[in-house]
Chains A and B, each alone.
Chain A
């Protein structure tokens, strides 16, 4: 569960988020849409505690994010899987190592890593590329690696920041199918996107940000004109 309770964040004179309150329940699939500068990135960065809120309260999985100390941030991020538009894979590590890495930082045994990584890679459909480097894969395949990395530690929440932004429509739908599959297993998915057709066809909860405020929170369709 992710809760924002009257959260405000300003950068100098610019207000990125203004008194935002929202609750995203366990197992939800939420699209966050809005024009550039509407506050989408700020929304994600606050969840990850990459930045601090000026005021208000943020809770993720019952934990008060706003009061986390710097030392607690790594632990907090391990409970959230992240998928980026530009994949952000480690270029000099193989596909296997990229996914294994997320487990290594939690100091899990080699045996458990050797067991779970192939499972995750198979789940996203790229088990056969385990020994390849990210540069040798197509964009869609790289995004699958990123998703495998995001889910390997079984987080309660997946944050996807325009995960289809760099993909052609067909590949984008494959990625959406994967995210939906992950969501159906009970993982909360928060996806920031500009892709109108995807939002319209998925029929999920759509939160629209504009000028740092939530201007619409409806089930169903992409609508920036409210």
Chain B
């Protein structure tokens, strides 16, 4: 058994050595596919995290108050709001607190806020609805109160975002399936060229009494190794580029979306398994398909 595995692996390396350009073409094809898949994976996963974190704000309503309203009046408004139906919590946030939160969000860029002479932020009342669907009614009710500058409420944004995310996810899934099929075809064709080169050799093997799996083995292992190599290559490239993006643009993205990119380590760990699984199955599948015709009898 081990002798047999040893033979198969030795043969597959010899084969790859003798058909370097074919091996290179296959690796190139699979790597390219995986890179595209990787980009979509990263986009999707970042979008999902973004949506999930925005969703948490879903049932929050922030009522911004006019500067003419003092804290005492605000407290009165809050008691009034607490009596409404569907209200879970009511909380006062003065402009200083709001500034601290903003500074925290801006992180390293917070020093920019220090240069402001006066705090431009309004005082506000935070209302949490008991359930997501009730938030809209509460928002409308709040707008009718005196002393309210405006009401921020996320439902529309979140709804749009979720719709967009759903489309992107479906699109990414379709594209991934398509790309997987394309790469299987590319790999099976590259391997088929090797097999064609060796049709004579395979027929001799069959005359001497080699079993189909004996002939197929080295090609299968070749496909698996090529797929695995491509996976690692694509993974290395993706992880490198992602870490560069995070290092160079991470802060801007954070400032724009008020949300960090998904952690590199987490992404890298998941991506390596996904790439390996995909790469290896593409390689193996491709080589089995390419052999089928030659092993019929």
Nearest chain B residue, comparing its CB with the CB of A109: B3
Dominant SS at the B interface? Answer: helix
Verify B7–A77 contact, CB threshold 8 A. no
Verify A105–B214 contact, CB threshold 8 A. yes
Nearest chain A residue, comparing its CB with the CB of B18: A92
B102 within 8 A of A: no
A104 within 8 A of B: yes
Cα distance, A105 to B160, chains bound together (Å):
63
Number of A-B contacts (CB under 8 A): 48
Q: Which of A70, A75, A105, A107 contacts B205 (CB 8 A)?
A: A105
Of the listed residues B18, B201, B203, the one surrounded by the most CB atoms of chain A closer than 10 A to its CB is B201
B193 within 8 A of A: no
Verify A74–B18 contact, CB threshold 8 A. no
Contact A74 B297, CB 8 Å, known A104-B7, A107-B3, A107-B4: no
Contact A50 B297, CB 8 Å, known A104-B7, A107-B3, A107-B4: yes
Verify A76–B297 contact, CB threshold 8 A. no
Verify A102–B208 contact, CB threshold 8 A. yes
A40 within 8 A of B: no
Cα distance, A54 to B275, chains bound together (Å):
51
Question: For B18, what are the chain A residues with a Cβ–Cβ distance below 8 Å?
Answer: 92
Question: For A91, what are the chain B residues with a Cβ–Cβ distance below 8 Å?
Answer: 201
Shortest A53–chain B CB gap in Å is 15
Question: For A82, what are the chain B residues with a Cβ–Cβ distance below 8 Å?
Answer: 207-208
Question: For A203, what are the chain B residues with a Cβ–Cβ distance below 8 Å?
Answer: none
Nearest chain B residue, comparing its CB with the CB of A79: B209
Verify B3–A105 contact, CB threshold 8 A. no
Verify A77–B209 contact, CB threshold 8 A. yes
Question: For A105, what are the chain B residues with a Cβ–Cβ distance below 8 Å?
Answer: 205, 208-211, 214
CB-defined interface of A154-185 with B at 8 Å, one 1/0 digit per residue?
00000000000000000000000000000000
Q: Which of B7, B204, B210 contacts A74 (CB 8 A)?
A: B210
A204 within 8 A of B: no
Q: Which of B3, B204, B211 contacts A90 (CB 8 A)?
A: B204
Cα distance, A82 to B212, chains bound together (Å):
19
Shortest B208–chain A CB gap in Å is 5
Cα distance, A149 to B209, chains bound together (Å):
12
Shortest A45–chain B CB gap in Å is 11
Question: For B204, what are the chain A residues with a Cβ–Cβ distance below 8 Å?
Answer: 88-90
Verify B207–A88 contact, CB threshold 8 A. yes
Verify B3–A76 contact, CB threshold 8 A. no
Question: For B214, what are the chain A residues with a Cβ–Cβ distance below 8 Å?
Answer: 74, 105
Nearest chain B residue, comparing its CB with the CB of A90: B201
A59 within 8 A of B: no
Cα distance, A193 to B129, chains bound together (Å):
96
Cα distance, A104 to B207, chains bound together (Å):
14
Cα distance, A128 to B21, chains bound together (Å):
34
Shortest A120–chain B CB gap in Å is 14
Shortest B263–chain A CB gap in Å is 49
Cα distance, A159 to B203, chains bound together (Å):
16
A133 within 8 A of B: no
CB-defined interface of A178-211 with B at 8 Å, one 1/0 digit per residue?
0000000000000000000000000000000000
19 contacting pairs across A/B (C-beta < 8 A): A50-B297, A71-B211, A75-B209, A77-B207, A77-B208, A89-B204, A90-B201, A91-B201, A92-B18, A102-B208, A102-B209, A104-B7, A105-B205, A105-B208, A105-B211, A106-B209, A107-B4, A109-B3, A149-B208
Top 9 nearest A-B pairs by Cβ distance? A78-B209, A77-B209, A105-B210, A74-B211, A74-B209, A88-B204, A102-B208, A90-B201, A82-B207
Q: Which residues of A are in contact with B by a Cβ distance under 8 Å? A: 48, 50, 70-71, 74-79, 82, 88-92, 101-102, 104-107, 109-110, 149
Give me 11 other A-B pairs in contact (C-beta within 8 A), A79-B209, A105-B205 excluded: A74-B206, A74-B209, A74-B210, A76-B209, A77-B207, A88-B200, A88-B204, A101-B205, A102-B208, A105-B210, A106-B209
